[in-house]
Structure 1
């Protein structure tokens, strides 16, 4: 997929979870020169995602589901991802 890693992550997460809220924040500048910084400017991200699919999942299951949906992005092209996953509240 052409475009940034963040755009690819967004497409995968929207396709998998149809989130009611999705924010992908590039935190790479905060980690410049640290371990895992590959110089691409796309090595560290925070994902805030809210989706009905998470309603019956605990915190760990939600994080595993997000990582699985991202496929080879995490670990191959992205060094670190902080995940805040939740279900919508009434």
Structure 2
């Protein structure tokens, strides 16, 4: 299920990126309400991108980032490695 969701979000990201530039409006001089149509495209597309990002943040944030080992919260090094030790701030060096 997570793999299918990951590939779905990848497809959404590619589609969103591909349609960011309105290639099909190049050379079109149409003006709507005093503003070129290509500019309206960008304004509308920014709204679509905002909605998609909101949906991604609510439902899929971190998807594909964690592995099975990381998700369990266990330290795979056994805590013996000095490079894996945490400093006072809790960050690994």
Same fold (TM over 0.5): no
| The structure with more strand, counted as a fraction of residues | 1
TM-score normalised by the chain length of structure 2: 0.27
| The structure with more helix, counted as a fraction of residues | 2
TM-score normalised by the chain length of structure 1: 0.28
In our comparison, the structure showing a higher alpha carbon Rg is 2
